[in-house]
Each structure stands twice: as C-alpha cells, then as structure tokens.
C-alpha cells in the first residue's frame, strides 16, 4: 500500500512540474532580408508582424504571404452574415530535424479581439491546402490558415507558437482593406 501511495505521489509530482515547463522560443523579425532579433519576451509580445514579414523561431520560419476574403465555393459556404478569411503562410524548416506544424495547435485566431476558431470549411474554400504536416529539414510547407468571420470584420490577428510549450508567440495582424 505504501509503494502504491509513493508511486501515485511521484506521478502527481511529475505531472505538476511538467505543467511549469516553458520553452523560450522567442521569434525574431525578418523584413526585407534584415533580421531583427527580439531579446526578451516582453519585447516579443509587442512585436507585430504583417504581410511578407517573417517570424523566425529556433526551428521554423513563418511568413505570411497573402490574405484573401471569399464567400466560399459550391460546397463550402459561410453562414449568413459571415465570410471566409484566409491567410496564406509559408513555413520553412530551418533546423536539421523534421518538424511538425498543426493548424489547431500552432495557431490561434482573433477577429476584432474576439477568439475565433479555425474553420475547416473555410480552409477547404482556399486552394493549396492547410498548414498541417511534417516538414523535412530545409523544406517548406505552404498553406492557408482560415477563419469564418462576420462580414463587418475590421482586424484579424493570428498568433503563432512554434511549439506547444512556447511562451512567446509571433503576432500577425491584418486590417481589412490592406
């Protein structure tokens, strides 16, 4: 009985301590070929990225290359009063090991400061696929992160974490009409 309690206590302690694990993978900003390194987390949180700017993490480089709004296709249409907004990203593996990217785990979307979940229907309305998969060293993944948003949206924010435990996301902000 004592061994069982000791084992349970060890498992509980390990799980508790694993929740404290935070990996500092602070992005640096690349615009026009010049890299600006972001030194601390507070500064990284203030750094805002836009089209054709790259957020460079330790293993992955994210670049937003296009933003598009659509009313969908034959089979995939938004609900009444909504539209689909997609941001096309190029993700480059700059490490020596295979890396994985997930639309659901690596990205968080906000529309006019309100949390907005990733929409598979919206993603299907854009060509070139989604941002899900494994990337071999030195290779790229190109795809869309897509949301279903109200017609009257003004701003879309997409926060990207290169890994699940990162505490410093890259914040991309896009205003309607830009």
Q: What is the pLDDT of residues 28-37, one digit of tens each?
A: 666 655 444 4
Range of the domain at 111: 2-175
Q: Residue range 150-171: average pLDDT?
A: 90
Distances in whole angstroms, Cα of residue 64 to Cα of each of 55, 146, 147, 174: 9, 13, 15, 10
CATH number at residue 30: 2.60.40.1240
Question: DSSP secondary structure string, 88-125?
Answer: EEEEEE-SSS-EEE-HHHHEEEEETTEEE-B-HHHHHT
Count of domains forming the chain? 1
Q: Do residues 157 and 172 lie in contact, with contact meaning Cβ atoms separated by under 8 Å?
A: yes
pTM above 0.95, yes or no: no
Dmax over Cα atoms in the chain, in whole Å? 67
φ, ψ of residue 129 in degrees (nearest 5): 80, -165
- Between strands 48-49 and 170-175, the pairing is parallel
Q: Residue range 16-24: average pLDDT?
A: 43
- Residue 129 is predicted with a pLDDT of 87
Q: What is the pLDDT of residues 81-93, one digit of tens each?
A: 999 999 999 999 9
């Amino acid at each position: 009985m004592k061994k069982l309690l000791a084992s349970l206590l060890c498992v509980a302690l390990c799980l508790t301590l694993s929740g404290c694990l935070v990996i500092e993978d602070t992005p640096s900003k690349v615009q026009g070929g010049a890299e600006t390194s972001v030194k601390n987390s507070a500064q990284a949180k203030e750094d805002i990225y836009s089209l054709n700017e790259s957020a460079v993490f330790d293993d992955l480089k994210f670049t937003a290359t296009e933003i598009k709004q659509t009313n969908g296709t034959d089979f995939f249409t938004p609900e009444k009063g909504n539209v689909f907004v997609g941001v096309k990203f190029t993700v480059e593996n700059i490490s020596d090991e295979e890396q994985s990217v997930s639309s659901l785990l690596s990205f968080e979307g906000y529309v006019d400061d309100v949390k907005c979940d990733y929409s598979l229907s919206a993603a299907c309305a854009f060509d070139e696929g989604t941002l899900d998969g494994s990337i071999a060293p030195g290779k790229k993944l190109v795809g869309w992160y897509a949301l279903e948003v109200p017609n009257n949206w003004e701003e879309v924010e997409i926060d990207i974490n290169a890994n699940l435990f990162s505490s410093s996301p890259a914040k991309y902000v896009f205003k309607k009409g830009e």
